[in-house]
Chain A
Amino acid sequence: MSSPRSHCAVRVALPYHLRNLARVDSEVEIDVAEPVTQRTLLNALETKFPMLRGTIRDHVTHKRRPFLRFFACGMDLSLEPPDSLLPEEVAAGAEPYLVVGAIAGG
């Protein structure tokens, strides 16, 4: 029987421009205190990479920026409530949480 987790190592894949801004060149791993939700994940991401504050969600309302979406485990989680639990595969670090920029513009 495994012991209950208090923190999870979650993988996050950022779009190109946010990787440049955060000065990383691949997925990032962040330590998220349980429960692992979109809100706690993004809070932890912004704590580790403060330069990302305001780029994924609004500073004040925490609403997702319109041209970004969130995916994991083959599912679009963009419209899920921010406090819903993320899939266990994400919390366990088996699958990444994807922040994806819209294919828009010319």
Chain B
Amino acid sequence: MTDVRVLVGTRKGAFILTSDGKRQNWRVDGPHFAGFEMYHLKGSPVDPNRLYASQSSGWFGQLIQRSNDGGKSWDTVGNEFTYDGIAGTHTWYDGTPHPWEFKRVWHLEPSLTDPDTVYAGVEDAALFKSTDGGTNWLELSGLRKHNTGPSWQPGAGGMCLHTILLDPSNPLRIYVAISAAGAFRTDDGGVTWKPINKGLVSDFMPDPNGETGHCVHRIAFHPSKPDVLFMQKHWDVMRTDNAGDLWTEVSDNLPSDFGFPIDVHAHEPETIYVVPIKSDSEHFPPDGKLRVYRSRTGGNEWEALTNGLPQQDCYVNVLRDAMAVDSLDSCGVYFGTTGGQVYVSADNGDKWAPIVRDLPAVLSVEVQTLQ
């Protein structure tokens, strides 16, 4: 028997949605941590009952929660995120130097091999690692201390490290993405990092082809092809076939190439999903029609997926961490909206249905396939 568990972070708490493999009837548990902004929840690949959650509040700061029973109970673990050494400065919106200040954890990425090891992507942009189940956190400061670090500037949502991809074929390789610094890669377990932004073009920058400064919204890969990355940039959907050494645009016939999430089918490494948004000034779907776009060719050839999604008067957004796939034979695709809906497709995106319609604004969606 296979079940799925969907971990949903919202502006006002976390929700856990569960179903069997048919993904038709759902149980909704929550809110957990009611009233708190739950930026992200994610389970360990090696111990699915080990969950980590980022709990944030403008009043009370950052908290990290850990569960050992699939979210039935939680323990508050370590929340001390102290930058390594003298934090220094990055560049503020107005171009002046600004001290690096910890604000919150955007993304938690559990290790592929050890349930007690987990990475945290934080604002202001940095990568932290815990090897004791989230009790203590140490910065992998080679990233922030890259010689371009002082020039990094925040995007409108803050200078967040929002994407962490762990290469399953190479434990020393990690990819991260930062708004608005760009994408970076380490090949030595996080000691040293290199920007991987060649081929990206951002017209708002003084040098549109700059080494850093690109507002990368999300990157994704298929575990069987970790050198092939897909990116939703501020504008443009991109791909690389050489681990980020060179990117090419694959937006082609999308109605808009602005958006936030991007994800890859669980069994088809060249099938990818995006949710186009009208523009950086109007964060809602073009024409009031909520459409997921799927490419079965790794980009460039896109088809609109609309069956079951609202096709009029829809003005929600789908945030960067709010899309996920399960690994059932018929791949399930999930996304949450700022209007509080969480949609599921149990057939690769062909048909959609809401699991819930009226949650708080959804910040993140992750899926666990439970055997």
Binding site for B on A (CB under 8 A): 15-18, 20-21, 50-51, 53-56, 59-60, 65, 67-68, 101-102, 104-105
Contact = CB atoms under 8 A, between A and B. Distances in A.
B80 A53 contact: yes
Given A55-B60, A101-B59, A105-B58, 18 more contacts: A15-B59, A17-B35, A17-B59, A17-B60, A20-B34, A21-B60, A21-B76, A54-B62, A54-B79, A54-B80, A59-B79, A59-B80, A59-B82, A60-B82, A67-B59, A102-B59, A104-B58, A104-B59
Contacts of B80: 53-54, 59-60
A67 B82 CA distance: 21
27 contacts: A17-B35, A17-B57, A17-B60, A18-B60, A20-B34, A21-B60, A21-B63, A54-B62, A54-B63, A54-B80, A55-B60, A55-B61, A55-B79, A59-B79, A59-B80, A60-B80, A60-B82, A65-B59, A65-B60, A65-B61, A67-B58, A67-B59, A68-B60, A101-B59, A101-B60, A104-B58, A104-B59
- Complex A-B, nearest 3 residue pairs according to Cβ-Cβ distance, in ascending order: A51-B76, A55-B60, A67-B59
A68 B63 CA distance: 16
Most buried by B among A18, A21, A65: A21
A60 B81 CA distance: 10
A17 B79 contact: no
A104 B59 CA distance: 9
A106 to B, nearest CB: 12
B39 interface: no
Interface in B3-46: 34-36
Q: Of B34, B59, B80, which is in contact with the most chain A CB atoms at under 10 Å from its CB?
A: B59
Main DSSP-derived SS at the B contact region: loop
Interface of B: 34-36, 57-63, 76, 79-80, 82
A55 B59 CA distance: 8
A49 to B, nearest CB: 9
Nearest to B76: A51
Contact of B79 (A53, A67, A68): A53
A65 B323 CA distance: 33
A50 to B, nearest CB: 8
Contacts of B63: 21, 51, 54-55
A68 B62 CA distance: 15
A89 to B, nearest CB: 27
Contacts of B59: 15, 17, 65, 67-68, 101-102, 104
Given A17-B35, A17-B36, A60-B82, A54 B58 contact: no
* Among A51, A53, A54: residue with most chain B CB under 10 A: A54
Nearest to B80: A59
